Amino acid sequence: MTGRLYGVGVGPGDPELVTLKAARLIRDADVVAYHSGTAGRSIARTIVADLISPDATEELLIYPVTTGATDHPLGYYGAIEDFYDESAERLGKHLDAGRTVVVLAEGDPLFYSSYSYLHDRLGPLYPAEIVPGVTSVSASSAAVAVPISRHEDTFTVLPGTMAVPELARRLADGGGAAIMKLGRTFAGVREALRQAGRLDDAWYVERASTGRERRLRVSEVDPDEVPYFSMVLVPGPDLRADAAQRARSGAATRLDPPAEPGTGRVLVVGLGPGPDRWVTPEVSAALAEVDHVVGYGPYVDRVPQRPGLQRHASGNTVEVDRASFALELARRGERVAVVSGGDAGVFGMASAVFEAVGADERFADVAVEVLPGMTAAQAVAARAGAPLGGDHAVVSLSDRLKPWELVERRLHAVGAADLVLAVYNPASRSRREQVARLRAVMLEHRAPATPVVVGRDVGRPGERLDVTTLAELDPETIDMTCLLIIGSSRTTAGSGGVWTSRRGD
């Protein structure tokens, strides 16, 4: 018979917030384990010191490193992984001997807790149970007595270790938020709150529920005096109060009368296919001036947040609706940018914006300006060499907006014309046959040895570039993260790269 493992939450600091079940298990445990920093002091043990039996065996699990350097060959994460392995082995010996092991966790055992790493190792091997605890988020919210979320608000927990631009973007999405892991990250967190326009609403809580608790507005906190065990809370909007205030004051909404005719303008911009360094200076300057950014969610996420910027993200199949929304904002005098990946005029939002203008006479006086961006085809071609150095065509295999029969006729025309072909949207989870049909069509016009470039996530983490032949192209390996370039009779694949001659026969 093996022992039983318990991950027990002891709450945020106040011993009276320990649950009855947690207290019973701690009193009855054969072994009580707890983590500490390098100094050997455990906050979790301090909370429940009066509950631990003098007959219990105590296991102090001291981190070898918290921040700073380590001489471990795999660095900080290597040292920590070894520590968890060794800690699990120590506790495993007690479990093998049939002892009941309680691992104390400040707050909740599975909420940013060290216990979770032990559970990963021991949970599959021994009977294990989680006893939830009051989290520091709940204690901090109670400390400031401000509702963090209401109605249909979202609530997000964010680590302060995130990069400032990403943290600002998350905060700007609205809803309530809690930011943990402060300490030396506090200055960056405050800057992210400022960029998101949420600094004035944010609260700082230090050591919630303990005798050393402090509560301040974030703007009043000295960054040099922020301990790790602190938190920032950003309340979500009170939608009911906001609506009542608007009704009382007659405040403007986006349904206000439009601006003077001819004054509205929408910028449609291409963000390039991947990294920020591929965004043009012209586009960056334009985005720094607008008040609204409209687009498909992942593209909106790429726009740096700043005070006053409103973000309007939507799904991937509502291009014209999205364009109409942007045009309506512009018609009412707002400064608006519609964003696309790559170049907005190449399978991007520019066409949808012009389509929306033509379909609704209300938008006749709204000016549309398109700012170019690097295309995915350009990025993949540059990585490969110069496969687009000669005449070429660009085709999307998506049949969402056009029938496949039309796509196939165009493929035959490109093949017969001996043009290099860049292929967008080659496959998706629901479209798995198009690449095989593309390959079959092109083999009717091209030699089996024709070079094919497969670019996957070019410019992003996990980028991969493969050069194969038309005969050896495996359709099953292609998905929506790929762009294909199929060579012509003038395309050569050599040790230096893939290129297409500009000379004719």
Q: What stretch(es) of the chain map to CATH 3.30.950.10?
A: 137-234, 384-500
CB 146 within 8 A of CB 241: no
The three-state secondary structure class of 30 is: coil
* Topology annotation, domain 137-234: 3.30.950
User: Is the whole model's pTM more than 0.75, yes or no?
Assistant: no
CA–CA gap between residue 482 and residue 162 (Å, rounded)? 29
Find all residues with CB under 8 Å of 436, minimum gap 6, and list them. Answer: 475
CB 118 within 8 A of CB 85: no
Sheet with 464-469: strands ordered across: 392-396, 420-424, 482-486, 451-456, 464-469
CA–CA gap between residue 285 and residue 280 (Å, rounded)? 9
Per-residue pLDDT, 262: 57
Find all residues with CB under 8 Å of 169, minimum gap 6, and list them. Answer: 196, 301, 303, 304, 305, 311
Instruction: Spell out the per-residue pLDDT of the chain, length 505, in tens.
Output: 789 999 999 999 999 999 999 999 999 999 999 999 888 889 999 999 999 999 999 999 999 887 667 888 888 888 899 999 999 999 999 999 999 999 999 999 999 999 999 999 999 999 999 999 999 999 999 999 988 888 778 899 999 999 998 899 888 877 899 999 898 999 999 999 998 889 988 999 999 999 999 999 999 999 999 998 899 999 987 644 444 444 444 443 334 555 565 568 999 999 998 888 999 999 999 999 999 999 988 889 899 888 888 888 887 678 888 899 999 999 988 999 999 999 999 999 999 999 999 999 899 889 999 999 999 999 999 999 999 999 999 999 988 888 999 999 999 999 999 999 999 999 877 777 899 999 999 999 999 999 999 999 998 888 999 999 999 999 999 988 899 999 999 999 988 899 999 876 5
Map tokens 């009051």 to a residue: 134
CA–CA gap between residue 384 and residue 381 (Å, rounded)? 5
* Topology annotation, domain 4-134: Cobalt-precorrin-4 Transmethylase; domain 1 (3.40.1010)
The 8-class DSSP code of residue 11 comes to B
CA diameter of the chain: 93
Q: Write down the number of H helices and E strands in the chain.
A: 15, 23
Which CATH code for domain 265-371?
A: 3.40.1010.10
CA–CA gap between residue 236 and residue 159 (Å, rounded)? 18
The three-state secondary structure class of 194 is: helix
Per-residue pLDDT, 119: 97
Map tokens 């379909």 to a residue: 359
Q: CA torsion sign, 450 to 451 to 457 to 462? A: positive
Per-residue pLDDT, 249: 46
- Dihedral of CA atoms 222, 224, 227, 228 in degrees, nearest 10, equals 110
Architecture of 384-500 per CATH?
2-Layer Sandwich (3.30)
Per-residue pLDDT, 251: 40
Cβ count near 446 (within 10 Å): 23
Map tokens 């004035």 to a residue: 200
Per-residue pLDDT, 90: 97
CA–CA gap between residue 334 and residue 188 (Å, rounded)? 30
Per-residue pLDDT, 228: 84
Q: What stretch(es) of the chain map to CATH 3.40.1010.10?
A: 4-134, 265-371
Cβ count near 304 (within 10 Å): 17
Per-residue pLDDT, 259: 58
Per-residue pLDDT, 59: 97
CA–CA gap between residue 470 and residue 291 (Å, rounded)? 47
CA–CA gap between residue 476 and residue 395 (Å, rounded)? 20
